[in-house]
Structure 1
Amino acid sequence: MGRVSGKVALVTGAASGIGRACAERLAAEGATVILTDLQDEAGAAVVEAIGAASGSARYLHQDVTDEAGWAQVIASIAAQEGRLDILVNNAGIGLGGSVIEMSLADFRRQMAVNVEGVFLGVKHAIPLMRKSGDGGSIINMSSVAGLKGAASLAGYCASKGAVRLFTKAVALECAAAQDRIRVNSVHPGIIETPIWDTIIGTGGPGANAGPQRAATLDAMANVAAALGHKGQPGDIADGVLWLASEESRYVTGAELVIDGGLTLR
């Protein structure tokens, strides 16, 4: 316990799925966590759950594509917590379908959330991280779709591939500045989260798709993942915790692939 004790962490898209698991795991290990999302009721429920487990967290409404909103979130953290040690750029959307049928508006919306949201987070978080002089850890959520192509996921692959190389470039920039800020990407495989609903058509964003989503992902993972089963949000949160902690102090610009062996095939 206490692997990130005393640290302040910001997790975007934290009202459900991987973001929620990351927020809960970081709080359980001693971090003060600021959760952001568009789903205010769900976000408040996560804060309540963290508090019930004796953790420290608060929630802020945020659209990660809004630069003014990013400035407000960082200003709030500076005023209330006084520092920022960990940023988990997790907010993202997944839109599936044939590339010849995808609208330009949907392609741009996906890039705005998945890529511009990460860019804005890095841009606005680094100055506050640097103020403490203690360095920090930035963790950008990519995907196995950022490592290999997937039919009917061209737009999503493009966005997650961009996150992968953006992460490496920023890692080099921070290393050159000797600011002790490490920047890494995480690449989940088939993890049971609501983002799959809009990709595989089992429901709307954030909907409770229940058995249909679970059964579909089970079948996909049985074929695609070497381990033969899907992962859970906590599997990703474990990797994020490691990257956030001092245990990974010599790791930057890396790709942490957590996919049950999917990319082996």
Structure 2
Amino acid sequence: MSAVAMALTDGWIVAKRNLIKIKRIPDLLIFSTIQPIMFVLLFAFVFGGSIQIPGVTYREYLMPGIFVQTVAFGAGITAIGLADDLQKGIVDRFRSLPMSRAAVLVGRTTSDLLNNVFVVIVMSLTGLLVGWRIHTGFGEAAAGFLLLFAFGYAMSWISAVIGLSVKSVEVAQSAGFIWMFPLTFLSNAFVATNTLPSWLQPIADWNPISSVALALRDLWGNASTDPAFRGSGFPADHPIPLAVGWILLILIIFIPWSIAKYRQAASR
């Protein structure tokens, strides 16, 4: 069996182990689901009446941004899970087994991807209840969800580096989420970037959260008809290829980095 095939096979076994853990501790899944639902309801009903988006309702404009924020925050579970396994000595037990060393990372990121899929399904139903709709065909809708899950998977590898770099679950919980807040709010997830100060607008336009959110709006027919609400330059004109580029760049950088960090952490 090749190294890649072994990593995938062993990774799926580790992923099933992580999913069983969620089944035994349902609080993890409950709280990861409640948070995005709260964001949808708060923004839809508290801010929805005061923010006007030309050509589309604010709730439809909002949902792609909430989806992207949700999978980004959901990736933080990867950091917590890896830090927990390190602290409890689970990683040392895995090292003693005849399994691929990449399996722990592959299994962790895969199980968190599947967790994100469940959360997105719940969010989609919530979005439909508050008035969100997809106005394009099946192909565009499916492409949007695939892009969303690919982005969430890429973000899990960033969290993997964080989880393998800290020494406790408490630190992983803080470090895994605190950087997400400026990343998500300094974007077009909730408001158009043209409402930001002029010096922040280019940063927000090139933000990967903005690229994925705008790509989803285009694929699902939730984008504003006013060009000013798209941002400016290349990110506004080519959100889909830019979103794919961000995903590939994150994977290229953070998969090798995660593997290197895992080797260091496992040898402590």
TM-score by length of structure 1 reads 0.29
Q: Which has the higher strand share?
A: 1
Counting helix residues as a fraction of each chain, which structure ranks higher?
2
Higher alpha-carbon Rg: 2
Normalising by structure 2, we get a TM-score of 0.29
